[in-house]
Amino acid sequence: MEAARLPGTADEDDQRIVLHVDMDCFYASCERLREPELEGEPVVVGMGYEAGETNGAVATASYEAREHGVESAQPISRALEQLPRIDGETADGTDTDHRGHYRPVDLEFYRTVAADVKSVLHDCADVVREVSIDEAYLDVTDRTGWDPVPGGDPSGAAGPAETRRLAEGYARHVIERIDREAGVPASVGVAPNMSTAKIASDFDKPNGLTVVPPGHVREFLSPLSTAELHGVGPVTARELSEQGIETAGDLAAADPTELEALFGQRGRELYARARGDDDREVTPTGRPKSLSRESAFAEPVREGEPKRETVRALAADVADRARSREALYRTIGIKVVEPPFEVNTRAESLSGPVDDPSLVEEIALDLLEEFHDRRVRKLGVRVSNLSFEAGDQATLGGFEGADAGIRDDGDEDDGDEDDGHTSSRPSRFRRGSGQAALDEWTEDG
C-alpha cells in the first residue's frame, strides 16, 4: 500500500527529497543518556580502553573534548596529553576545567539506542539506507514536499533556504522524534540528492538542520572547501590545491577533461559532485566488501613509536566498526603513504573469517615492520573479505579438521592483485601466503 501524502507534497516528476541523518558524537551522546551529569562536559569514549588506563584509541570525542585537540582514532595516550582525565590520575597541577571524562566502548548499549533511532527512521521514510550505527539516508519524497509553507515564513534552518519549506518541517519532525524516543541528538541535511544532503548534515553541527532546496545546490556548495566534498580526503584536497582548485566552486568551473587526466574516472565524479550532480537513488543498505580507516600526520614521521601508536588506534577503530556491523573478516591489511605520495599496501589472509581485534592489531603491526625506518605521511588499516555469518567464525586452531599453525599455500582470492610479497610467520590461524595489494582504499575511511 502506498504511503499517504501530506497536503502539498511533491508530484512524482518533482525532485526527490533526501535527508541525511547523522547522530552527533553518538557514543558520547549514549554515555550522556546513561549519565546525564556528563551533559556539557568533555567526554571521550575509547576502544580497547579500560577505566584508568592509557591504552586504546578514541572512538568518539564530544565537541567539548574536540576543543582540546582530541580526535577520533587518536591513541588514548595522546588524547590524555591534550585532555587529562577528570579523576586526576595525570600530571599534578592541571586545571580541573581542562579535564575530560573517559569511558570504554559499550557497544551493546549503543546498539539498543541505535535500534530506537532506526525505528524512528523507518517509521518516517519508506526507503532508508543505513550507512552505519549512527548515519542513514532517507528518501522522504512521498512524505513531504519542497513547497513553501503558506504564509511565507522565513526558514529557520541553516543553508540557502530563505523561505520555510514543507521538507524543513518534516526534517524537524524527524529530529524531534529521535530526541524524544531515543534520547540522543541528531543533525540533518535536506537536499535534492545524497551527496549534497550528506554535506548539509555536517554544515551546522551539533543538533543542526540545513536545508538546500532545488536550484540552490550550486550556490550552497560553491564556497565550501574541496575537503568538505564527500570522497575528497587530505591527499586529494592537496593535489587539487596544487592545481589552484581550493573550493567546490573552483572544482565545478574546472575542465573535466583535465580532472580526468589527473584522477582518472574519479576526476569526473568529483567534478559532478562539486556541481551538485548526483542522480543516485536512496537504496536499502547493501553489505560492505571492506572496512578501513586512515590517519595523516601533520608532517612525515620516521620514528617507529608514533607510527605504531597510530596503527594500534586505527586497528582498534576498524575492528570496532566491523563488530558494530556484526562482520567477520578474512583479510587484514595496512596502507602506508610515503612522501611525496607513494602508496604502499600490504595484507595478510587468514584461513577463515574471524572477529578478533587483537589479531587485527597484531597483523597490522607486523606488516608495518617493513616500513619501520621509512618516513611516512599517512597510515591506514583495512579488513576485507567480509562475512556476515557468525557461525562461520574460525576457531583458535583453524577450521574443524585443520592443524593449528599450518599455512594455507594458496593465495587468498579477494579480487586484489598479488604484489609478490609472502609471509612465513606462524600464527594462531592458518594464514594465506599472499599479501594482496589493496586497491579499494577510500580516503575518508
pLDDT in tens, 174-233: 999 999 999 999 999 999 999 999 999 999 999 999 999 999 999 999 999 999 998 788
Is there a domain that residue 47 lies in? yes
Do residues 234 and 227 make contact, with C-beta atoms less than 8 angstroms apart? yes
pLDDT of residue 390: 54
Mean residue pLDDT of the chain comes to: 82
Burial class (CB in 10 A: 0-12, 13-18, 19+), 317: buried
Backbone angles phi, psi at 161, to 5 degrees: -65, 120
> Tens of pLDDT along 352-398?
999 999 999 999 999 999 999 999 999 999 999 999 865 445 443 33
All cell numbers assigned to 175: 529530529
pLDDT in tens, 278-287: 999 999 876 7
Query: How many angstroms separate the CA atoms of 240 and 39, rounded?
Result: 40
**Whether residue 93 is found in the same domain as residue 196:** no
Q: Which three cell numbers stand for residue 371?
A: 616500513
Res 406 pLDDT > 70: no
Which residues constitute the domain of residue 167? 18-25+108-218
- In this predicted structure, the answer to whether residue 343 has a pLDDT above a threshold of 60 is yes
Distance, in Å, from the CA atom of 231 to the CA atom of 279, rounded to the nearest integer, reads: 16
- Dihedral (CA of 307, 308, 313, 318) sign: positive
Strand partners, 334: 346, 381
Q: Report the CATH number that the domain containing residue 238 is assigned in CATH.
A: 1.10.150.20
For residue 389, the model assigns a pLDDT of 65
Instruction: Tell whether 7 is covered by a domain.
Output: no
Strands (E), 236-359: 290-301, 328-338, 342-354
- Are 95 and 117 members of one domain? no
119/171 same-domain check: yes
Strand partners, 344: 336
C-alpha cell at 286: 547493501
Kindly state the cell numbers that stand for 375. 618516513
Q: Are residues 102 and 122 in the same domain?
A: no
Cα separation, 338 vs 379, in Å, equals 9
Catalytic residue, chosen from 135, 219, 246, 338, is 135
104 vs 390 pLDDT, higher one: 104
* Confidence class for position 14, pLDDT limits 50, 70, 90: low
Domain count, the chain: 4
Q: What is the pLDDT of residues 115-129, one digit of tens each?
A: 999 999 999 998 999
pTM of the full predicted structure?
Answer: 0.68
- Output the nine-digit C-alpha cell for 251: 572544482
Of residues 71, 190, 67, 69, the one with CA closest to residue 124: 190
Both 211 and 294 in one domain: the answer is no
Q: Is 130 designated active site?
A: no
